[in-house]
């Protein structure tokens, strides 16, 4: 087949071997603590501007509105609505995420007024031509990964835990992610993504964290740099609103056709 197969096999075995040891336990504890600190937010709405840049510095912009509903005992529900580019205005994506089980996703195409269930195994595909894969933007449930604590580290003089996490899903585009979480608030400060061949693929850097309801931290700027193709995608977030009183009935296939 190809010469990467043995390497890919080794990489695939790594998570299998990484079970129960002090480093694994500590990694999982850190991930659980980060998750615990972000539970109870109820629901959020936010606006996002996505700026795509290619190697030559050409830019392309997308405007996206995101509504999220926290679901107890399951993955979150989310509604993603496109405002621009204007040819996809009103296109909306409804996602019921389910931790390890495949997500349910419906796409609404306003020109045809059609709601279409889409395949759920497209984890590693690019989201709207950006450097973010679908799995990078999906609900980050603890059980989606196996963990390992590596060491204490610093990012820009901020004390961090460095943990590695290994995706459980076989459709993931990654073998490994290195995550730096600051010790103060367990916020991600940097994530390095390693591709299926074990090579460094992308670096994610969230900045401009702001706190909401005295508890929840949200980065208002995120940068994803692809080291292999020289492209990057920047997300600029605004209008974060919490506890809007959103309900299950705001995240149905019926409502998907009524958002815009």
Partner 1 sequence: MPASLASWLLTALLCLGGATRASAQETPAERMEEADEKVRELQEPAPEGVELELTSPETTKDEAEWKDAEEPAAEEAPAEEEPEEERETFGDRFKRGDLFGFFDVQGRFFPQPALPPAPGAPVLNDYWFNGSLAWEPGFFMNVTDYMNFELILFGRVDQHDRNRTHGDIREAFFELFFNEWTFGFGVHKVFWGVTESRHLVDIINQTDLVEDFDTDIKLGQAMITTSYTSEKAGTFSLFVMSWERPLVFPGPFGRPTLPIPVDNDIRIYESRLKQGQISTAFRWSYAVAGLDLGLSYFFGTARDPQLFLTTTGAGVPVFQPVYALIHQGGLDAQYTIEGWLLKVESIVRGGQGPTFGAITGGFEYTFFQANGSVVDVGVILEYNYDGRDNNTFILFNNDFFTGMRLTLNDVGSTEFLIGAFIDTEDGTVFIAAEAARRFGENWKILLEGRGYIPQGDNVLEFFRNDSQIQVDIEFRY
Q: Quick one: 79 exposed, middle or buried, by C-beta within 10 A (0-12, 13-18, 19+)? A: buried
| 70 lines the binding site for partner 1 (CB under 8 A) | no
Nearest distance from residue 19's CB to partner 1, in Å? 26
Q: Which is nearer to partner 1, 12 or 23 (CB)?
A: 12
Residue 167 contacts partner 1 per CB under 8 A: no
Contact residue for partner 1 among 6, 9, 22, 254 (CB under 8 A): 254
Q: Give the interface size with partner 1 as a residue count (CB under 8 A).
A: 81
List of residues 6+ apart from 158 with CB closer than 8 A:
182, 184, 189
**Segment contacting partner 1 by CB under 8 A, of 47-55, 68-76, 143-151, 160-168:** 47-55
Per CB under 8 A, contacts with partner 1 among 106-125 are 106, 112-122, 124-125
User: How many Å from the N-terminal Cα to the C-terminal Cα in the chain?
Assistant: 48
Q: Given the complex with partner 1, which of 18 and 48 has the nearer CB atom?
A: 48
**37 touches partner 1 (CB under 8 A):** no
Angle at 174 between CA 170 and CA 178, to 5 degrees: 130
Q: CB under 8 A: which stretch of 9-17, 25-33, 137-145, 215-223 binds partner 1?
A: 215-223
């Amino acid at each position: 087949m190809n010469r990467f197969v043995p390497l890919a096999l080794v990489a695939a075995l790594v998570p299998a071997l990484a079970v129960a040891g002090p480093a694994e336990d500590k990694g999982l504890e850190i991930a659980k603590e980060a998750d615990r600190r972000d539970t109870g937010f109820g629901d959020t709405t936010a606006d996002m501007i996505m700026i795509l840049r290619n190697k030559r510095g050409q830019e392309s912009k997308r405007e996206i509105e995101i509504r999220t509903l926290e679901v107890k005992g399951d993955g979150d529900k989310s509604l993603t609505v496109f405002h621009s580019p204007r040819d996809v205005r009103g296109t909306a994506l409804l996602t019921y995420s389910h931790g390890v089980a495949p997500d349910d996703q419906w796409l609404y195409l306003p020109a045809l007024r059609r709601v279409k269930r889409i395949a759920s195994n497209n984890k590693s595909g690019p989201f709207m031509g950006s450097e973010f894969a679908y799995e990078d933007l999906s609900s980050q449930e603890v059980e989606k990964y196996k963990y390992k604590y590596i060491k204490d580290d610093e990012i820009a003089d901020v004390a961090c835990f460095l943990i590695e996490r290994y995706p459980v899903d076989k459709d993931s585009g990654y073998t490994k992610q290195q995550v730096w979480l600051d010790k103060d608030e367990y916020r991600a400060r940097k994530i390095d993504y390693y591709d299926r061949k074990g090579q460094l693929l992308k670096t994610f850097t969230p900045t401009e964290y702001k706190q909401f309801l005295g508890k929840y931290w949200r980065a208002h700027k995120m940068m994803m740099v692809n080291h292999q193709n020289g492209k990057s995608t920047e997300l600029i977030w605004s209008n974060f609103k919490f506890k809007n009183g959103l309900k299950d009935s705001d995240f149905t296939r019926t409502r998907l056709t009524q958002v815009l």
